[in-house]
Amino acid sequence: MGRGLAKLPGQRPDEVETAFAYLQTVRLQAEVGSKLAIRIDLIDRELLRAAADRVYAESCGTPATSRPLADMLSPLVIEQDGSVVPLQFGFGRKYQVGNLHKSSFAQMATDWKRDVFTDFQDLCTQVYEVEMARDDDLPIFNWYESISRASHRRSRVKLPVLA
């Protein structure tokens, strides 16, 4: 994603190309079976509808501070400046886990679970709801692209209603 943005600005597959790539991945995986895991950063909305937990858009009964970070966030990306961000290169800094030059990974994980996880899960839930409500001709989309784009939007502040 990072290099692609720099080398191919404004270029991205359209809805048909995205669906074709997804179907090719499914076909290739069926062909090679368990000998090789083939992954693509695309998902079918209908499959995702029943699995909100796959994109961290569902609450868990266990408090965040008691759970391993790997159960709450994967993958992690280490950027050139040492920043550890969720899901993909360039993710919004509001949600970053921390910076390897400034803190230990264990401390970053503890701080993130306590201070950031709730906002991250809210973001995931909001993007999930938007994506599930879409009525595109083809149901295949790039979750990482959608959530990363949303991670850069400013949060709307709820102002108190004055009587």
Write the pLDDT tens digit of every residue in 73-131. 899 999 999 999 999 999 999 999 999 999 999 999 999 999 999 999 999 999 999 99
Residue 98 three-state SS? strand
Q: Tens digit of pLDDT for each residue in 22-61?
A: 999 999 999 999 999 999 989 999 999 888 888 887 777 7
- Asked whether the bond before 75 is cis by omega within 30 degrees of 0, the reply is yes
pLDDT at 21: 93
- With cut-offs at 50, 70 and 90, classify the pLDDT of residue 3: low
The ranges assigned to domains in the chain are: 2-151
User: pTM to 2 decimals?
Assistant: 0.80
d(CA 29, CA 83): 33
* Per-residue pLDDT at 160: 62
pLDDT at 4: 67
Contact 87, 1 (CB under 8 A): no
CA distance 74 to 67: 13
Contact 143, 40 (CB under 8 A): no
